[in-house]
Amino acid sequence: MSPYLFGHDWEQERRRLDLLEQVYDGGTLAFLGRLPLPLGGHCLEVGGGAGSIALWLCDQVGPDGRVVATDLDTEFLERRAGKRCEVRRHDIVTDGLEEDAYDVIHSRLVLEHIPQRDDVLRRLVAALRPGGWLLLEDYDWARPSAAPGCVGGELLERAHDGFAELLAAAGYRPDYGLALSGDMRSAGLVDVQAEGRVHLGVPGSPASEWWRLTLAKICPAVVERGHLTEAEVEELFDLFDHDGFLFRLPTLVAVWGRRPG
Ligand X SMILES: C[S@@+](CC[C@H](N)C(=O)[O-])C[C@H]1O[C@@H](n2cnc3c(N)ncnc32)[C@H](O)[C@@H]1O
- In angstroms, rounded to a whole number, what is the distance separating the alpha carbons of residues 105 and 138? 14
- In angstroms, rounded to a whole number, what is the distance separating the alpha carbons of residues 21 and 15? 10
Q: Which residue, 25 or 232, is less far from ligand X as judged by CB?
A: 25
- Bridge partners, 231 (sequence order): none
Instruction: Catalog residues that contact ligand X under the rule CB under 6 A.
Output: 2, 4, 17, 20-21, 47-49, 70-73, 90-93, 108-110, 113-114
Q: Which residue, 106 or 153, is less far from ligand X as judged by CB?
A: 106
Handedness of CA 7, 24, 185, 55 (dihedral sign): positive
Q: Which residue, 2 or 208, is less far from ligand X as judged by CB?
A: 2
Query: Shortest Cβ distance from residue 244 to ligand X (Å)?
Result: 29
Query: Shortest Cβ distance from residue 4 to ligand X (Å)?
Result: 4
- In angstroms, rounded to a whole number, what is the distance separating the alpha carbons of residues 8 and 38? 33
Position closest to ligand X via CB = 49
Whose CA is closest to 55, among 126, 11, 106?
106
Query: Shortest Cβ distance from residue 80 to ligand X (Å)?
Result: 11
- Bridge partners, 106 (sequence order): 45, 135
Handedness of CA 178, 140, 113, 222 (dihedral sign): positive
Q: Which residue, 20 or 121, is less far from ligand X as judged by CB?
A: 20
The distance of Cα 119 from the centroid of its chain, to the nearest Å, equals 18
Q: What is the DSSP letter of 154?
A: H
Query: Shortest Cβ distance from residue 23 to ligand X (Å)?
Result: 9
Q: Which residue, 94 or 231, is less far from ligand X as judged by CB?
A: 94
Query: Shortest Cβ distance from residue 149 to ligand X (Å)?
Result: 31
